[in-house]
Amino acid sequence: MNEKQVHKFVNRYLEATECSILEKSPTHFTVKLSPHADRELTNRPYYWSFVDRVGADPETMTFLFVTDKHKYDAAEELKKTEAANAQAEEAVNAQDAAANAALGRSLGFVHGSLAAPIRVPREDLFFGARKLEQLFEAAKAKGSFVHLFQEPERRSANPFASTPYTAWLGVNMRVEFASDRKREEIHCYGISLATGLCVEHFYDRLITHKLTPRLPANIHITKNGISFNKALNIVEQTLERKLKSYDYSWAEGASARLEEELERIRGYYEPLVKNALEENRPAVEEQFAQRQSEIRWQYEPRVTASAINCGIFHLEGID
């Protein structure tokens, strides 16, 4: 994950959690966290328990998130150099500076720079950084389900016109083929909740649209024709039909290797069990059974399917 990808991810997280971005560049964000993001990222359970208990208005933290350390530090050094040059030019006019100082003393003026600056914690975000891992975990925990609307490509000239939108259930399924070797596949399905139509590679369709969590103007949602449970059953049946068409010669090979390993284990343990003393035999038999269970877990072929995440997507048209 390079700096640009990290920057894009952080920007999307801050927007999704409605944080206030105070300053932004291609290398950093200065941001005041929203209450939701503050709870997830600052590890202040006692403070938030106090806020929840007394119903006080929360004061969230402000952070400097640096997504490209080298470029940001170079830019900051350049700013310091320019500031030092500007101060040197101001010092040339000594007479004006002395007059301003005398005026300040006579009027009791306190320069604003004497006030203590507000400390803004800095976090360098790069792949492997602790704070970035926190962002990943927060996005994973809260992003397993989304509810989005397609943004219209153009607004209708008629303010009373209304465009029909169909609700789709999008599901990402992980299929794992496991034995002593392992392979995974990701399948993305979309099911129209109006008609029950199921399409594969649904993500490819989604990326062609701009999506928003807010309901756009001048649209109406068509009535659902099937339930969520029915839609999930359609996904399971579609995926099952697809998996039945696969070549499972790998499973036959895994079963053969399993039998070879079990035969080798039996050849080792059966004489031990037979020749063991009466008081030691239960322990040897238990070890033999445990070893057989471990070999079966390692070599026995299995196919498992699980949902990674899902969402409801309201798309233009009636499908």
Report pLDDT for 178: 92
Residue of 159 and 277 predicted with greater confidence: 277
Round the CA-based radius of gyration of the chain to a whole number and report it: 32
Exposed, middle or buried, 64 (CB in 10 Å: 0-12/13-18/19+)? middle
Average pLDDT over residues 24-36: 92
Average pLDDT over residues 16-39: 91
Which tokens hold the place of 124? 């360098």
The sign one gets for the Cα dihedral 310, 311, 317, 319 is positive
pLDDT in tens, 45-76: 999 999 999 988 899 999 999 999 899 889 88
Average pLDDT over residues 107-128: 67
Geometric angle at alpha carbon 207, from 206 and 209, rounded to 5°: 75
Report pLDDT for 301: 93
Residue 234, pLDDT > 90, answer: yes
Report pLDDT for 95: 60
pTM here? 0.59
Residue 116, pLDDT > 60, answer: no
Lowest mean pLDDT among 156-160, 208-212, 311-315: 156-160
Residue 102, pLDDT > 70, answer: no
Residue 112, pLDDT > 50, answer: no
Beta pairing class for 145-150 and 302-316? parallel
Residue 274, pLDDT > 90, answer: no
Residue 105, pLDDT > 60, answer: no
The percentage of residues in the chain with a pLDDT greater than 90, rounded to a whole number, is 46
pLDDT in tens, 121-148: 899 998 888 888 888 888 877 767 888 9
Give phi and psi for 30, each to the nearest 5.
-105, 120
Question: 3-class DSSP state for residue 136?
Answer: helix
Average pLDDT over residues 6-20: 89
Query: Which 8-state DSSP code applies to residue 223?
Result: P
Residue 32, pLDDT > 90, answer: yes
- State the angle between helix axes of 281-299 and 249-275 in degrees (0 to 180), rounded to the nearest 10: 170
State the Cα–Cα distance between residues 142 and 130, nearest whole angstrom. 18
Residue 115, pLDDT > 80, answer: no
State the Cα–Cα distance between residues 61 and 11, nearest whole angstrom. 17
Helices (H), the chain: 3-16, 35-41, 45-54, 69-92, 94-107, 130-142, 202-206, 228-244, 249-275, 281-299
218 falls in which pLDDT band (50, 70, 90)? Answer: confident
pLDDT in tens, 142-181: 767 888 999 987 766 666 778 889 999 999 999 999 998 8
Which tokens hold the place of 238? 């579609």
Report pLDDT for 114: 45
Report pLDDT for 186: 93
Report pLDDT for 109: 46
- CA-based end-to-end distance of the chain: 37
Average pLDDT over residues 85-102: 66
Average pLDDT, the chain: 86
